[in-house]
Amino acid sequence: MNDVVVSVKHLTKEVALAQGNTLKVLDDISFDVNQGVFVSIVGPSGSGKSTLLYCISSLLPPSKGKILIKGKSPYEWRASKLAKFRRKEIGFIFQDFQLVSSLSAYDNLLLPGILNGQKIKPPMVDALAAKLELTAELHQSIDALSGGEQQRVAIARTVLADPDIIFLDEPTSALDTHSRQLVMKLFQELVNQGKTLIMVTHDLELAGETSRSIVLRDGRIEREIQMPAAETVRI
């Protein structure tokens, strides 16, 4: 699969500071991501990883540059069209889960599909919950689940909505080693199905399981690594 699904051209992001000063968080970043690949974004704390992910996923407008998702420029649209595009075309797994506390875990799993008009059947939910070893009672309040269980619910919620492109911000931060392995196995299955995954992570072992790693330092791409099996990412 060689179709470019995310294209970033000369992306720069500046934030306002006190007394009229600005801080350049991202500086002239360009890269493409093809369909059906798993890309990781790594770098030291403060390198701009999460800001880059938010910019390229249509959640945070850049100060300069252009971002295309499936050949379309989402920041040029009205809010209603952008919201519809996000629901239909992309998924985002947030570091802080972004679950709805007033809903049960099960209803959280169904919510994105309901918003998209999808009919997610109970066997699909049960199969994915089993794959992620979500053994908690899913009809109880989301607040009754552990942090690791909530993170797996957030991951499953996005997968059930069936987006073509998934952006992931530290998707295993609350997971133990065994649960991380389950999640990474699921992510690889999605890639094998033709999905595109772009993940920010501080976990270099996880980055080493992706097919390509973009290394950031001080808001710029320091280098890119095409990962053959068993290669280690160093930053």
Q: Please give the angle made by the CA atoms of 50, 7 and 210, to the nearest 5 degrees.
A: 60
Greatest Cα-to-Cα distance within the chain, rounded to the nearest angstrom: 57
pLDDT at 235: 52
- Whole-prediction pTM value? 0.91
Cβ atoms of 87 and 40 within 8 Å: the answer is: no
Find which of 7-21, 185-199, 214-228 is predicted with most confidence, using mean pLDDT: 185-199
Tell me which H or E stretch contains 167: strand 165-169
What single letter denotes the amino acid at residue 103? Answer: L
Q: Is the pLDDT of residue 190 over 70?
A: yes
CATH code (residue 144): 3.40.50.300
Distance CA 195, CA 199 (A): 13
In a domain, 185, yes or no: yes
Query: Which DSSP string corresponds to 72-100?
Result: B-GGGS-HHHHHHHHHHHEEEE-TT----
- Indicate whether 7 belongs to any domain: no
Domain span at residue 192 reads: 35-62+77-226
CA-closest candidate to residue 198, choices 33, 87, 30, 12: 33
Residue 14: the pLDDT is: 95
- C-alpha distances (whole Å) from 149 to each of 19, 134, 141, 217 are 44, 7, 12, 32
Query: pLDDT by residue (tens digit) across 216-229?
Result: 999 999 999 987 65
Report pLDDT digits (tens) over 158-169. 999 999 999 999
pLDDT band at 230 (very low <50, low <70, confident <90, very high): very low
- Taken in order 90, 32, 194, 178, the sign of the CA dihedral is negative
Instruction: Tell me if 8 is assigned to some domain.
Output: no
Each residue's pLDDT tens digit, 128-165: 999 999 988 889 999 999 999 999 999 999 999 999 99
Q: How many CB atoms lie within 10 A of CB 61?
A: 11
Count Cβ atoms below 10 Å from residue 235 Cβ, excluding itself: 15
Give CA–CA dist 97/52, Å, rounded: 19
Q: Which two tokens stand for residue 48?
A: 């701009």
Q: For residue 234, tell me if it sits in a domain.
A: no
Tell whether 220 is covered by a domain: yes
Tell me how many domains the chain contains. Answer: 1
**pLDDT for 198 beyond 80:** yes
Lowest mean pLDDT among 61-65, 108-112, 150-154, 195-199: 108-112
> Quick one: pLDDT at residue 169?
96
pLDDT surpasses 60 at 231: no
Asked whether residue 68 is assigned to any structural domain, the reply reads no
Q: If you average pLDDT over residues 205-211, what whole number do you get?
A: 92
Specify if 82 maps to a domain.
yes
Mean pLDDT of 89-116: 89
Q: Average pLDDT for residues 84-110, to the nearest whole number?
A: 91
- 178-217 burial, b for 16+ CB within 10 Å, e for fewer? ebbebbbebbeebbeeebbbbbbbebeebbbbbbbbbbbe
> Is residue 21 predicted with pLDDT exceeding 90?
no
3: in domain: no
Whether residue 33 is predicted with pLDDT greater than 60 in this model: the reply is yes
